[in-house]
Structure 1
């Protein structure tokens, strides 16, 4: 490993990365957008009463969308499909009760479609009325396309799409789940209803529309949380499809989002140029495509924000690679996120479910294996990992239960190993391993992507930012703890398993994990000028962990050089093939380092 390191340039981290729209595409806003959609509907009607359909993702601000349509198209009748045909919320609640369970956090993944939330006879009635109308009609709401398809008539289709993160922000500010009337409910329960039920059905539904959609509306900007002043833009379906097809052929970044927490630190505020008035930042989802967004930008700088999930759903083979797609389906299996405890507190002591358990209990087909890569660390930083040698299992569980009831604090270091941590260390955490990052650490978490399946065992006696005790799941945790992963085993198998693969010409390549039970392979490259890579037919996820600035280039000129700054996570789609990472003309650093994650066993020629 090179020993010379230069300090990173502060303030370059790009919080609003964009993906270009085609050169001739323009983002439409205001009445002009709705007029364009209405003109297309009229053209297709060919003498019939025109029909315009606005199918909105659940969580979209439907009243504001309807108001905008009515203002722009005063001669069109606006029909709210949800009000006219949705089932009563009491019946919906009964249908999804088994998926929601009584737990505050965990449910069971639903396989329902959007039609499960509607009265079929009322949908049929709406279709007959729309088909027989003698005036222009706009159908608005989640599932509006269900009605339009029943008519057999031609129509123009608008998808009002939005990202899960924006939905969560709105729910924190009092927005309910879809027609649920639960504005004051615990935000974890709101998230659970979305994650296990609503978003599953909504994603299945919108995947049926991607090839047909005529316009995409940025519903993130309609009634955006925190008063976002950005106008709600709309692009044509052709421009939307072309932009995401192009993104699957070149490096790109999703839009990161940052969130405070009870254990949050100060490192990201300083290094990533965040709002200094905030008390802390605990998380950054720097690459979680299921929740992050993509910003599609036209030549004039106007933006349409879409879920990055849309890229996964529409370009899975080009993005993931054929073998990774065959293994995981249209899901992005690798997650990079930041956990900042610099000047903060310990993360919760936790464990992730074993694969069989997550499948049988929650309906998720793979689990959250992960690792902690230390972007930075204080002198006293530690990672809690694995039980101590000879631990008394029953005594430990008894003490955890006593801590859960508030009887006495849990003495973590009595039962759990605390390994010293320094910058660029890598700690591997296969599912079933008890773990936590201690205070004064800046962690790049490299993991699989099942999101919320973390069983907290002890949270150091804290409550959440909402004043409610953070949930602890000892029953789940007990069933998944791998007690055999004690100090000796953990130290040998999970701490800094660095293997030098090659060194020369200013480049050192190392394998840093993950553990053999995990499906993610991580390689680290140190270099002074440039290093050559090849996706080998599977998606690569990388982070610049050392150095100020590099660019990703194509040896054949297949895409324009793409600039990456310190600590930025970027995705190189499988379709890219060979690529080069090199210093830029502005780079001041002497040494650069990247970590690269990919799915094991899916590379071309990997047997």
Structure 2
């Protein structure tokens, strides 16, 4: 029976953790706050992340308060068409890739309309004024500030269902990939910059992830919760997604819906995409995990890692399931200079495949064969993608057998993909969207549309010297023993010297001791049913993890121990541990 926890919670300690659930209780609390203010007029502000359901907040919270003036900040921004013109350089004409935006949210507001709104507010001598929407805080100073937030995964679900278009757009029916691109490269960037500025200002955080079931915590409780998390181990909330190549392994091990055709992906270690569940007494609040990185980057990442990456979380763990499924697309990731010059990213998607499980015929494609003619290979790729013939991948690309606990290193520029019947724990740098598909085995996506390929990008970054001999010597199972004791073996398993992530594998049957040494640690229990993480100085409560679960150790923790637990006691278990080389 699976013991994988799909809904990990973090219990927030403290007596003053005020939390409310449902519009009735939230409305009562806001009414009390308004009544406590001595001013003749009061400005209640609900600043929103793009994607929040406005009508729900308007009907559930704002209108019952009977305000004298309501201003929707979105109405003060430029039209969607005007904004599209302003960001066209970032959007590009490509279906998938844009250029990272450096825009500030304030750039998209019409100064004349903002001045008119401020004049309208000034005319109210006595009464309640409500300003709500994206960028509401740009309009005026509030007496009570609520920030309405939601997870990026939930935004994507709303894109897919056609409930949601992009900010200021009515493109509900547009290709989901194009909506996602506009969010990823532009909207989430300026929204996050704005959000960062409000952490210490907000009086309340409003969780708007679940329809008609809002939750709210005080700003004080919210900041206390984030402060607590960087003192202890924690997990993010995983999500699972189907795909044309998806498999069946996660259904069993992660106890997923057996009626679904497959599950291809699981993000169980990507703070930019995942959420945190914070338990405040009887109320569970969901917040984007990236908020923790924004608020406590040094404590979470470590000082040197923060100096290099700022408020970005550099390590990503995710699952790729092709067990009883299909091959991934044949692909390559951009070199550092290519991603900098073309997409505005600071660093690229170096990665690795750790084989968590595999069937006997499992394989991984990695690197080109000896003496490949690159012009011939790309001519065949173009013909294949035009539907003229199928691409003979094994003529050009190495195909290696994959066994449980193998580790394949994939520095950017290396052509690769997982074959069938692999359960991959992908350990990589965070810029996960930059995959140049070269060949997709004659498939279309779940939406019925051809899956996008990017041959023109791929041929500019493939490293042709990474051929069979080089790959065998440099990228497959580079295992180096670091420590060998009676009950503990520590091994360096990668990544390649070109990559900034170090990975260590630990096999142990008794307690082992670890230090963060300047970097956040990301780990996964790759063998064994359960493990327990403890503080040698009792600085945090014991933390239990189960097979295949990813978990985080903030650098601020400094030291921790891991040992087999529960049904795993007395047995040898294994963890893979990743950190930034500092």
Q: TM-score, normalised by structure 1?
A: 0.94
Partners in 2 of 1:76 and 1:324 — Cα distance? 49
Partners in 2 of 1:583 and 1:379 — Cα distance? 28
Partners in 2 of 1:22 and 1:157 — Cα distance? 24
- Which residue in 2 is equivalent to 1:4? none
Partners in 1 of 2:530 and 2:63 — Cα distance? 47
- Which residue in 1 is equivalent to 2:403? 422
The answer to whether residue 61 in structure 2 is matched with residue 61 in structure 1 is no
**Superposed, which structure 2 residues align to 1:319-398 within 5 Å?**
319-398=300-379
Q: What SS class does the counterpart of residue 148 from structure 1 fall into?
A: coil
User: Shift of residue 380 of structure 1?
Assistant: 0.6
**Superposed, which structure 2 residues align to 1:41-190 within 5 Å?**
41-44=34-37, 46-75=38-67, 77-83=69-75, 85-133=76-124, 134-149=126-141, 154-174=142-162, 175-190=164-179
Contact 1:35 1:72 (8 Å CA) reproduced: no
- Which residue in 2 is equivalent to 1:201? 190
Distance 1:407-1:70 versus aligned 2 partners, 3 A rule: same
Partners in 1 of 2:188 and 2:63 — Cα distance? 30
- Quick one: which of 17, 23, 28 aligns to 2:8? 17
Partners in 2 of 1:348 and 1:566 — Cα distance? 28
- Quick one: which of 216, 230, 233 aligns to 1:248? 230
- Which residue in 1 is equivalent to 2:263? 281
Q: What SS class does the counterpart of residue 36 from structure 2 fall into?
A: helix
Partners in 2 of 1:78 and 1:222 — Cα distance? 23
Distance 1:359-1:485 versus aligned 2 partners, 3 A rule: same
Contact 2:436 2:454 (8 Å CA) reproduced: yes
- Quick one: which of 235, 252, 266 aligns to 2:248? 266
User: Shift of residue 41 of structure 1?
Assistant: 3.8
The answer to whether residue 529 in structure 2 is matched with residue 537 in structure 1 is no
Contact 1:42 1:49 (8 Å CA) reproduced: no
Partners in 2 of 1:297 and 1:72 — Cα distance? 28
Contact 1:522 1:598 (8 Å CA) reproduced: yes
Partners in 2 of 1:532 and 1:81 — Cα distance? 52
Partners in 1 of 2:390 and 2:536 — Cα distance? 58
Query: 1:35-86 CA deviation, whole Å, 9 max, x = no partner?
Result: 3234324434x22211110001001111111111235413554321212x12
Distance 1:271-1:76 versus aligned 2 partners, 3 A rule: farther
Segment drifting more, 137-146 vs 122-131:
122-131
The answer to whether residue 505 in structure 2 is matched with residue 524 in structure 1 is yes
User: Shift of residue 255 of structure 1?
Assistant: 0.3
Distance 1:72-1:530 versus aligned 2 partners, 3 A rule: farther
Contact 2:413 2:461 (8 Å CA) reproduced: yes
- Which residue in 2 is equivalent to 1:35? 28
Contact 1:548 1:588 (8 Å CA) reproduced: no
- Quick one: which of 515, 520, 528 aligns to 1:547? 528
Partners in 2 of 1:314 and 1:129 — Cα distance? 35
- Which residue in 2 is equivalent to 1:312? 293
User: What is the CA RMSD across the aligned residues, in angstroms?
Assistant: 1.2
Q: What SS class does the counterpart of residue 539 from structure 2 fall into?
A: coil
Q: Which runs of 5+ in 1 are unaligned?
A: 1-9, 224-230, 602-607
Contact 2:204 2:219 (8 Å CA) reproduced: yes
User: Shift of residue 298 of structure 1?
Assistant: 1.6
Query: 1:536-579 CA deviation, whole Å, 9 max, x = no partner?
Result: 12100000000000111000000000010000000000000110
Q: What SS class does the counterpart of residue 213 from structure 1 fall into?
A: coil
User: Shift of residue 127 of structure 1?
Assistant: 2.0
Partners in 1 of 2:489 and 2:68 — Cα distance? 65
Residues matched between the structures, number: 578
The answer to whether residue 541 in structure 2 is matched with residue 560 in structure 1 is yes
Partners in 2 of 1:427 and 1:88 — Cα distance? 48
User: Shift of residue 305 of structure 1?
Assistant: 0.7
Distance 1:32-1:434 versus aligned 2 partners, 3 A rule: same
Q: What SS class does the counterpart of residue 96 from structure 2 fall into?
A: coil
Query: 1:72-112 CA deviation, whole Å, 9 max, x = no partner?
Result: 413554321212x1211111111111110000000011111
- Which residue in 1 is equivalent to 2:278? 296
Q: What SS class does the counterpart of residue 436 from structure 1 fall into?
A: strand
- Which residue in 2 is equivalent to 1:226? none
Distance 1:477-1:213 versus aligned 2 partners, 3 A rule: same
Q: Which runs of 5+ in 2 are unaligned?
A: none
Partners in 2 of 1:137 and 1:42 — Cα distance? 13
Segment drifting more, 73-82 vs 187-196:
73-82
Query: 1:193-244 CA deviation, whole Å, 9 max, x = no partner?
Result: 0001100000000101001111000021246xxxxxxx21000000000001
Contact 1:259 1:281 (8 Å CA) reproduced: yes
Contact 1:11 1:271 (8 Å CA) reproduced: yes
Partners in 2 of 1:290 and 1:420 — Cα distance? 33
Contact 2:62 2:130 (8 Å CA) reproduced: no
